[in-house]
Amino acid sequence: MNTKIAMAESMVRGKGAELFALPVQNAFLVFNPLLQVSTLVNTRALDLLRQWLCGYVSFGSLPSELADLAILLTEDTSDRTDDTHGPLNPQFLGIIPTRACNAACKYCDFGSGRGKHRTMPLTIADATVTWYADFIRHCGQSLMKVHFFGGEPFVAREVVETVIHRSRALAAGYDLETHFEVSTNGIFEPEYARFVGDFFNAVVLSFDGFKEVHDYHRPISKHHGSFEDVRRSALLLSESPTELCLRCCISTENVTLMEAIADWFCRDFQPSVINFETLTTNPATLAAGLRPPNPYLFAKHCHRAQQIIRKQGIQAVYASASCETLKPSFCPVGQDTLIVSPDGRIGSCYLPQSVWRERGLDMNIGKINSEGKVGIDFDAIVRLRRLVTDKPRCKNCFCKYTCSGGCHVSHTYPDSSLQYEDFCIQTRLLTACNLLDEMEQKEAAESLLSNRNAMKALALQVSDVIKNVT
């Protein structure tokens, strides 16, 4: 047998072959996520590829160009294994200084509210970073990555500053580097904005666009919006050494403004990253009358906004549609991330414990006791590593290795529906358009997004596995 033919027949039998096909109007987008290889083919080529994969025709009967493509698309990836029992390897250390917040965002589901909230004792903050620095040193690693979440982290500034200064001191003693990142609403005075810009490597700033919508989404109080504070902070942070990421929440109120928001963000703030996220429905949003955007409308405006952003050399992000790397998990869950709550509880999810418990999930992986001793439950680590791979809805979706099912609490929790939801629809469309853009098929992407029937054909395809596509 010809060597080329023998190689191809061996590859197609490889257990690691993952090949998908998506209808793009009169053509098909063929994609192997494990190899990060994609191409656009016509109906005849797709039919021949499918017949070969199913064993109905021989490799030798394929046209030469299609044969070369078949080899490229079906390289054996069976040696790519996922060791769920490997040693602890935290993606980063997360600190929640407090669940309290100085804003009253209408869509907040982080449990901030206006009630009394515990602030992390400085003894727990100190014990956490001391343990983490020692762990990093003994593992032979060189970088301490610390992320702050909330509530609003800067409501508990003493905790934040204690963690930063203690980490820097430990890193200097152990010859380590530090990386500090914070998610913030930006409601702080100018002097503090300059401190944040100088001491943090990256700042994720929530900014929902123009004044009317931002103040509607993210008020400080019933009669006071946060737009002016956030705009001022964005300007000051853009002038600082930090990497500024503007995170914009999209609802029905601002979905049609995305292109204008993108242009304004690029022009006035020159951020490193602009990240669009859609509103997640929760009791707070329902009470406020806020609704997430139509997924087809969001996909169209998001893609067009991203074109504007990328032309300025700025990274445009919709987290679940990035094809640059394979993701074992959409978020910190399942990636050994250690996120410490104000009471010393260690988990892998920064959402409030009550939220994921409602879904029947347990994200706890350890505890820091009153003496400052850190205890990690490795069985819980293994359980979460397995959780992120068990996504029945994602089994036949071409985004399974790049989206990874989205939020494990909001989207693909245990016993969640097998039907695609709005999150899936917009993710599938934007992922396909990103792949087309990478292949210099921008016109095909725009044509797809201009045809609602074509969008639905791609977004609602039940199985993307090439053998099942007709």
User: What pLDDT sits at residue 104?
Assistant: 93
Question: What pLDDT, in 10s, does the model give residues 391-423?
Answer: 999 999 999 999 999 999 999 999 999 999 999
Q: Is the pLDDT of residue 4 over 70?
A: no
Average pLDDT score, the chain: 92
Q: Is the pLDDT of residue 185 over 70?
A: yes
Task: Give percent of the chain above pLDDT 70.
Answer: 93
CA distance 369 to 13: 52
11: closest CA among 34, 28, 29, 30?
Answer: 34
Of 54-58, 66-70, 181-185, 281-285, give the lowest mean pLDDT range. 281-285
User: What pLDDT sits at residue 15?
Assistant: 35
User: What pLDDT sits at residue 77?
Assistant: 66
Can you give the pTM of this predicted structure?
Answer: 0.93
User: What pLDDT sits at residue 322?
Assistant: 85
Residues of the chain with CATH 3.20.20.70: 93-378
Model confidence band, residue 11 (pLDDT cutoffs 50, 70, 90) = very low
Q: Is the pLDDT of residue 5 over 90?
A: no
347: closest CA among 141, 134, 90, 159?
Answer: 90
User: What pLDDT sits at residue 395?
Assistant: 93
Model confidence band, residue 7 (pLDDT cutoffs 50, 70, 90) = very low
Model confidence band, residue 80 (pLDDT cutoffs 50, 70, 90) = low
CB burial of residue 388 (10 Å; 0-12, 13-18, 19+): buried
Q: Is the pLDDT of residue 364 over 80?
A: yes
User: What pLDDT sits at residue 328?
Assistant: 86
Q: Is the pLDDT of residue 153 over 80?
A: yes
Model confidence band, residue 103 (pLDDT cutoffs 50, 70, 90) = very high
User: What pLDDT sits at residue 360?
Assistant: 93
Q: Is the pLDDT of residue 147 over 90?
A: yes
User: What pLDDT sits at residue 113?
Assistant: 54
User: What pLDDT sits at residue 140?
Assistant: 93
Question: What pLDDT, in 10s, does the model give residues 295-337?
Answer: 999 999 999 999 999 999 999 999 999 887 888 898 999 999 9
Q: For every residue of the chain, which 3-state class applies, written as one string?
A: CCHHHHHHHHHHCCCCCCCEEEEECCEEEEEECCCCEEEEECHHHHHHHHHHHCCCCCHHHCCHHHHHHHHHHCCCCCCCCCCCCCCCCCCCEEECCECCCCCCCCCCCCCCCCCCCCECCHHHHHHHHHHHHHHHHHCCCCEEEEEECCCCHHHHHHHHHHHHHHHHHHHHHHCCEEEEEEEECCCCCHHHHHHHHHHCCEEEEECCCCHHHHHHHCEEECCEECHHHHHHHHHHHHCCCCEEEEEEEECCCCHHHHHHHHHHHHHHHCCCEEEEEECCCCHHHHHHCCCCCCHHHHHHHHHHHHHHHHHCCCEEECHHHCCCCCCCCCCCCCCCCEEECCCCEEECCCCCHHHHHCCCCCCEEEEECCCCCEEECHHHHHHHHHHCCCCHHHCCCCCCCCCCCCCCCCCCCCCCCCCCCHHHHHHHHHHHHHHHHHCCCHHHHHHHHCCHHHHHHHHCCCCCEHHHCC
User: What pLDDT sits at residue 324?
Assistant: 79
Write out the CATH class of domain 93-378: alpha beta
Task: Give percent of the chain above pLDDT 90.
Answer: 83
Question: What pLDDT, in 10s, does the model give residues 205-236?
Answer: 999 999 999 999 999 998 899 999 999 999 99
Question: What pLDDT, in 10s, does the model give residues 244-273?
Answer: 999 999 999 999 999 999 999 999 999 999
Of 115-119, 188-192, 242-246, give the lowest mean pLDDT range. 115-119
Q: What would the mean pLDDT of 22-38 be, rounded to a whole number? A: 95
User: What pLDDT sits at residue 13?
Assistant: 42
Of 13-17, 169-173, 215-219, give the lowest mean pLDDT range. 13-17
Q: Is the pLDDT of residue 83 over 80?
A: no
User: What pLDDT sits at residue 116?
Assistant: 66
User: What pLDDT sits at residue 81?
Assistant: 52
User: What pLDDT sits at residue 370?
Assistant: 76
